[in-house]
Structure 1
């Protein structure tokens, strides 16, 4: 006898009509790499100094590996379109799935319009072509960047995948070039950055770096949102996830080490630190250094664009499946275009949200409102991490309550191994989520100085008001969306019943 689902009346998922299988193992790997690896994250991690490399390696072993094992098994066993939405729905029901998917999805248009586009414009302005601030060129560049990412999600996946694949290749090649060039530079001039770097892990470094590293490492399950558009997900998902996770670990650890080795301690400052590091090490190429630096900047911007594109492709599919399933306002919002086989309406909604945040950021970037906007943007982006607080338990429920489902790949040591991996991943997510929502609290418990107003530019009370207010607003939007969808469905059902009675 098969084990019942919870809730017991939840039907088994059906295939989504109109989808075309276009993703092979290489495509899945490339999409994960395009989505997860980020140039700006490399610079942010490196700001932690020598111990950043230590924690990058440690979290790769104690978080990334169990995380990859969990999602490799689940992604192969449950390859329905919508990925994490379907997993949470099957395990915990539609309301939980709809709210979780909203948190997972909303991160990405906000991130695209409130962070990625500004990093891209800053790089283009500083290394390629002067744009200025608030000029027509500045606005035009940012609008083109946002809607180019959306357009990649709108076109058919068989074509859009090649843009994200190109982005993945550009990321890996450019990071490899930077790492190799840094080694050549160090061989000529000495690895001066290592002289003052301390690789000894500290509690303060741990608390500062954990949220950044978790953001860097999560998201490898994202291609499963297009599960029914894969040729053979049960065979390809575990292999692709393992490969992409290995590539990501190397693409974070090796460039971080290279950056720390050649840039003096305390001089690494996020994105600027990475590009300044490139400017420094490319000196080994003599007269070719300038063109190479410009090329690197162009590759940087293209990589940011394809990263936004990859997340739009997968997260929009998740949100569209939630809408089509009656979990978010109107089912029409989740309709897939009959020719393109993409959720065009959800794509356009993402573009609108990203554009609104872009304009808001440009208006609020200066003056007294800048710190407030930064707080709201930071919390909005961390909603991706918060969504895993529901997704990970859902994986455990599926493992324990659906043993009859064929699992081409299994986490070693059966249920105990699966639950142990889930507990380890969940513990990391809890620490990262708490640090994102309540920064400075854990530091205080360990006696670490944390001057809140100097770091965030606002008081703790103001910070918590905006952070918890943002989370509460998203919960309210999700609850309203679910209620509207239910009321609409009941209205449609009543109309159908009246029509049937009249015909009778």
Structure 2
């Protein structure tokens, strides 16, 4: 490993033998785009009405920019396999890194088995082929979707990167097609949605949108989980992160504006907002509209699939690194396949978690896809944002404690600039985490009316049981994993197993 990691366990350094350098700047950029641009959150953001566009732009400037600066510097300075796991381990130790990585990793099978698969099934059911709700076809589609995403993460990164690249291209193309068509529709029929849109920001809109917007914008550091599979991470990471962040900001703001311009805000739904908007605007294509809408729906589902696989590729590597480094249960869980160069055991664990979560989520609200979608997305937002409560301070500690480490890219204005960026990012993360875990509480402090069941479709008791229960279970599993790994730490690893 790099000299920047001289303190890393030697047994973990043996993991290099299964890794192959196959990611160049273009691949890193495409992986960032594939992972971060979330079709499922475009409609969710647009439910906030006109001010959703205002807050999308504001948070891009006040959160995404400093966030990108922080992770561009750290990712280039510490390009080891495992990314955020390594950064937290160096700054705060192995137990903290293992727990943080668990929260970061579990977001993705939860999200895949809850939000993504429900949105994909709903889209397929309404625009391609009828599946029904709770039918054999419904279950079969969802299981196939989950395991297709997992299997695309199992193949070697040299081949798998083209799957995520194709997904990124399809995603950008579909969003550009929708945005352009919406403009054409508006020119012909008028921008009816703008009559009801109110772009002035409000406190209520801010509190409702912050968790979803932060979830939409975080994750550009994810390709660093494959840091030792990059050809030149110290040069490519900052450039790739900047490009993918700029593309993502445009791919959120422009479609949200287009959707709100042609669809009245009260008609936008989180689970079907994008495709319902596409159904409306594609009418400008006349007889070809039906076929084009069906093709768009297929692209939509494929983009969701590759988005899930992109996150599996990177987050499973982080979790595998934690295991292989002796921080989570057994080192064998972090084994990379000697030929494929992927953490197959962790990939399969992700598939199992996603499947269990999908089956549980289908029972949460008696098949009400809309309510399940909102609650499941909130769980995913919560676990991911909570991990950044540890990751961001770790970046600051690395900046202050390791000034000797070569940093090919630096945040402007030295330590003061870095600290200001970190403070901004951390403040946003704290607000987003609280709002995700305890929705309605801050609204109450500001005297804003909040009828919980009307917003979420479930009672507060059910909601908190699902979210806080998930957090409690994760903390218990993480603490147990650290304890078991510590007991085994004195035992030598099996040959070829300590890889990640």
Coarse TM-score class (shorter-chain normalised): over 0.9
Instruction: State the Cα distance separating 1:374 from its structure 2 match.
Output: 6.8
Counterpart position of 1:119:
119
CA distance in 1, matches of 2:285, 2:369: 44
Counterpart position of 1:427:
427
Unaligned runs of 5+ in 1: 496-504
CA distance in 2, matches of 1:334, 1:9: 19
CA distance in 2, matches of 1:264, 1:458: 25
Q: What does 1:357-436 correspond to in 2, within 5 Å?
A: 357-366=357-366, 375=375, 378-436=378-436
Pairs aligned (count): 489
Q: What does 1:237-252 correspond to in 2, within 5 Å?
A: 237-252=237-252
Secondary structure of the structure 2 residue equivalent to 1:266: helix
| Structure with max Cα Rg | 1
Instruction: State the Cα distance separating 1:466 from its structure 2 match.
Output: 4.0
CA distance in 2, matches of 1:457, 1:261: 27
CA distance in 2, matches of 1:457, 1:245: 33
State whether residues 154 and 340 of structure 1, in contact with CA within 8 Å, keep that contact through their aligned partners in structure 2.
yes
Counterpart position of 1:184:
184
CA distance in 1, matches of 2:475, 2:78: 27
Counterpart position of 2:498:
none
Secondary structure of the structure 2 residue equivalent to 1:490: coil
Instruction: State the Cα distance separating 1:351 from its structure 2 match.
Output: 0.7
State whether residues 372 and 458 of structure 1, in contact with CA within 8 Å, keep that contact through their aligned partners in structure 2.
no
State whether residues 39 and 271 of structure 1, in contact with CA within 8 Å, keep that contact through their aligned partners in structure 2.
no
Q: What does 1:56-205 correspond to in 2, within 5 Å?
A: 56-205=56-205
Instruction: State the Cα distance separating 1:156 from its structure 2 match.
Output: 0.1
Give the 3 Å change call, closer, same or farther, for CA 58–75 of structure 1 in structure 2: same
Taking only aligned residues, the RMSD between alpha carbons, in angstroms, comes to 2.2
Counterpart position of 1:499:
none
- Please say if 1:263 is aligned against 2:254: no
Counterpart position of 1:29:
29
State whether residues 225 and 315 of structure 2, in contact with CA within 8 Å, keep that contact through their aligned partners in structure 1.
yes
Q: Could you list the runs of 4 or more consecutive aligned residues of structure 1 that deviate by over 6 angstroms after TM superposition?
A: 367-374
Instruction: State the Cα distance separating 1:105 from its structure 2 match.
Output: 0.4
Counterpart position of 1:329:
329
CA distance in 2, matches of 1:119, 1:367: 13
CA distance in 2, matches of 1:175, 1:248: 11
Counterpart position of 2:485:
485
Give the 3 Å change call, closer, same or farther, for CA 263–376 of structure 1 in structure 2: closer
Instruction: State the Cα distance separating 1:492 from its structure 2 match.
Output: 5.1
Counterpart position of 1:51:
51
- Please say if 1:317 is aligned against 2:320: no
Q: What does 1:214-253 correspond to in 2, within 5 Å?
A: 214-253=214-253
Which segment drifts farther, 383-392 or 367-376?
Answer: 367-376
Unaligned runs of 5+ in 2: 495-500
CA distance in 2, matches of 1:301, 1:446: 40
CA distance in 2, matches of 1:113, 1:488: 32
State whether residues 186 and 262 of structure 1, in contact with CA within 8 Å, keep that contact through their aligned partners in structure 2.
yes
Give the 3 Å change call, closer, same or farther, for CA 461–281 of structure 1 in structure 2: closer
CA distance in 2, matches of 1:237, 1:398: 18
Secondary structure of the structure 2 residue equivalent to 1:134: coil
Which whole-Å deviations, capped at 9, do the CAs of 1:66-86 have from their partners, x for residues lacking one? 000000000000000000000
State whether residues 179 and 258 of structure 1, in contact with CA within 8 Å, keep that contact through their aligned partners in structure 2.
yes
CA distance in 1, matches of 2:411, 2:61: 16
State whether residues 34 and 167 of structure 2, in contact with CA within 8 Å, keep that contact through their aligned partners in structure 1.
yes
Secondary structure of the structure 1 residue equivalent to 2:272: helix
